Amino acid sequence: MTRPPAALIGHRGCAGQYPENTVAAIERAAPHVDAVEIDVRRCATGELVVFHDAELDRLTAGTGLVSDAAWSDLRELTVLDSGEPIPLLADALAAAPAGTAVNVEIKESGVAADALAVARSADAEVWFSSFRPGVLESLRELDPDADLALLVADADVDGGRTVERVKRVIDRAVALDCVAIHPEIDLATEPGFVAAANEAGLGVNAWTVTDRADAERLLDAGVDGIIADRWDVLGDAARPSRS
Ligand code: G3P
Ligand code: MG
């Protein structure tokens, strides 16, 4: 296995610039990023759709749970009045050109097998992430070669942030056979976090970067990638390339 190749990862397809998690966002972000991050969940008729929220209300004219909605209805909705539809996972992966990897974040359990099957039939370089250890365990059972990353929110590291607690989070990702850990910004910038993760063989891709100050803070901390809402988060300096 290899580490995710991305240094700049467009969060929800650069949601700060384009209608989030749409094919248009992926296509428009792709020339500027190393990878795009997208969110996946299942609708009522079983299809895997690229959509962040559990409910339709924030992003569409629809209401209620995505999991209660049929694909025939979801496909009629557009995201943030952009005219861009909610994509199926397969269509989102097809929108990523060669050279642009896709970080598929799985939002719920019971999706791993189908997500893996879609990824296998797509001509895309995919790695999976999830906040849910069970999802990562399922993916590993199904595919010994899948590239996996554990998402960790700052609040998941309960109590203070001692070296022991940071180590515990990293140990959790190692136990899940991950190639990377995706920590929230404040966790990633905890002194010693990146070094400890790298020492354990994990890449570190931190989220969610919305401004230059956070991007620079993370690069100073030595992260392997930033998951950012804008591809121009570093201004004219463009990509935070490691090369
Ligand atoms: O994958 C990083 C980030 O997307 C996790 O949070 O809520 O934006 O999916 P969220
Ligand atoms: Mg996400």
For the chain, what are the domain ranges? 8-232
pLDDT of residue 158: 74
Binned at pLDDT 50, 70 and 90, residue 4 comes out as: very low
Task: Considering every ligand atom shown, identify the ligand nearest to the alpha carbon of residue 131 and give its number.
Answer: 1
What's the pLDDT tens digit per position in 66-94?
999 999 999 999 999 999 999 999 999 99
Going from the Cα of 14 to the center of ligand 2, the distance in angstroms, rounded, reads 11
Query: Best substitution site from 20, 39, 187 to test ligand 1's pocket, by max atoms within 8 Å of Cβ?
Result: 39
> What residues line ligand 1, using a CB cutoff of 6 Å?
11, 37, 39, 52, 105, 129, 151, 182, 207-208, 227
pLDDT of residue 155: 84
Q: How far apart, in Å, are the Cα atoms of 83 and each of 9, 41, 80?
A: 24, 21, 8
Index of the ligand 1 atom closest to the CA of residue 39 = 9
Going from the Cα of 44 to the center of ligand 1, the distance in angstroms, rounded, reads 23
Q: Which amino acid is at 94?
A: A
Q: How far apart, in Å, are the Cα atoms of 193 and each of 143, 154, 212?
A: 28, 12, 21
pLDDT of residue 3: 35
pLDDT of residue 5: 35
pLDDT of residue 89: 98
130 vs 44: CA distance, rounded Å:
21
N-term to C-term CA, the chain: 21
Going from the Cα of 51 to the center of ligand 2, the distance in angstroms, rounded, reads 9
Q: Residue 51 pLDDT more than 80?
A: yes
Lowest model confidence (mean pLDDT) among 32-41, 173-182, 234-243: 234-243
Index of the ligand 1 atom closest to the CA of residue 227 = 2
219 vs 241: CA distance, rounded Å:
10
Binned at pLDDT 50, 70 and 90, residue 160 comes out as: low
What's the pLDDT tens digit per position in 95-136?
999 999 999 999 999 999 999 999 999 999 999 999 999 999
Binned at pLDDT 50, 70 and 90, residue 157 comes out as: confident
Class of domain 8-232: alpha beta
Quick one: average pLDDT of 135-153?
97
Tell me if residue 61 falls in helix, strand or coil.
coil
Q: Residue 162 pLDDT more than 90?
A: no
pLDDT of residue 163: 74
Going from the Cα of 5 to the center of ligand 2, the distance in angstroms, rounded, reads 18
48 vs 104: CA distance, rounded Å:
11
Going from the Cα of 12 to the center of ligand 1, the distance in angstroms, rounded, reads 8
pLDDT of residue 6: 40
Q: Residue 240 pLDDT more than 60?
A: no
